[in-house]
Amino acid sequence: MPDIKITEVALRDGSHAINHQYTVEQVTQIARALNEARVPYIEVTHGDGLGGSTLQYGLSKTDELKLIEAAVNVADFSKISVLLLPGIGTIKDLKEAHKIGAKMVRIATHVTEADVSKQHIVTAKELGMETVGFLMMSHMAPVEKLVEQAKLMESYGADSVYVVDSAGALLPNQVSERIKALCSELNGNVGFHAHNNLSLAMGNTLAAIEQGATRIDGSIRCLGAGAGNTQTEVLVAVLEKMGIDTGIDLYKMMDIAEYIVAPILPKPQEITKDGLTLGYAGVYSSFLLHAERAAKRFNVDSRDILIELGKREIVGGQEDMIIDVAAEMAKKNKAVV
């Protein structure tokens, strides 16, 4: 059976869902419990990675370095991971995260822009960190281009490269095709990160594993951007039924989801009309709350905003376009009236 290593992303991707309002106490409690459940990796940063706490992406309630340090202090089994998007996070941010105990970093770029990750991957390897290439919005490139970009990340030193379905837009056959291609072309580990906007996170994750992916992301209680990610406690149960032992304590994961994470959710993680539209239009999952706020501000339909963003192929880092599109729609609507 394959050796599946799960990275828990609720303390990073889940930050989007709670508007980046994590406290040191919450992170400490969750990370301690995940460590006791023997989760291999726990990712902790702002939803948009190191340095993401800005007006454009959303201000954090707590300095992310304090959150990372809090997780490190209670994790003697789990390795604490951080996310870094070149252009948002810097080499300085990476070194500071490493200094306080982060053991893994995932360097995330748009699926066609792997070349901007070189200095960050090289630096991470020099620091002795486990290093992952994270190819976001993977539905926006043909398989051949995805393979090309993954090879670049591997050539820079990445230990693993992920197919990242940031919009939750991929179908199972598309996931299978991408993972199979990477597994046949790369020497290192291949990973997969799903979003549940089309209710396909679990199905897509299993398709990825069937094609050879061994590094898998999950989020407890499905806590993540858009409609959330592959639900970790469910994934552990499903894999056990398949005869795949992740080393994670299923009962403890169930209890963490039920008694620790669920109470902090502002609302249940479900597929709303806007979450569904993200997957349908192929739009970055973290745009959800931004689009909902813009819709209220300009009195337009949030779904129309998201569909237009998809048509324009707007990607992460272009959050300012959400306001522009909403304002344009409001202007047009006013002109028609």
One pLDDT digit (tens) per residue for the chain, 337 residues: 579 999 999 999 999 999 999 999 999 999 999 999 999 999 999 999 999 999 888 899 999 999 999 999 999 999 999 999 999 999 999 999 999 999 999 999 999 999 999 999 999 999 999 999 999 999 999 999 999 999 999 999 999 999 999 999 999 999 999 999 999 999 999 999 999 999 999 999 999 999 999 999 999 999 999 999 999 999 999 999 999 999 999 999 999 999 999 999 988 899 999 999 999 999 988 898 899 999 999 999 999 999 999 999 988 778 889 999 999 999 988 776 4
Give the pLDDT confidence score for residue 281 in this predicted structure. Answer: 94
Phi, psi of 309 (to 5 degrees): -60, -40
Count other Cβ atoms within 10 Å, centred on residue 172.
15
State the catalytic residue, choosing from 16, 46, 110, 139: 16
Under CATH, which number does the domain 5-264 receive? 3.20.20.70
* Residue 166, annotated as binding a ligand: yes
Under CATH, which number does the domain 273-336 receive? 1.10.8.60
Model confidence, pTM: 0.94
* Residue 156, annotated as binding a ligand: no
Annotation says 46 is catalytic:
no
Domain boundaries along the sequence of the chain: 5-264, 273-336
Whole-angstrom distance, CA of residue 198 vs CA of residue 259: 27
Give the pLDDT confidence score for residue 267 in this predicted structure. Answer: 86
Give the pLDDT confidence score for residue 53 in this predicted structure. Answer: 93
Give the pLDDT confidence score for residue 153 in this predicted structure. Answer: 98
* Residue 297, annotated as binding a ligand: no
* Residue 195, annotated as binding a ligand: yes
* Residue 193, annotated as binding a ligand: yes
Give the pLDDT confidence score for residue 332 in this predicted structure. Answer: 87
Give the pLDDT confidence score for residue 336 in this predicted structure. Answer: 63
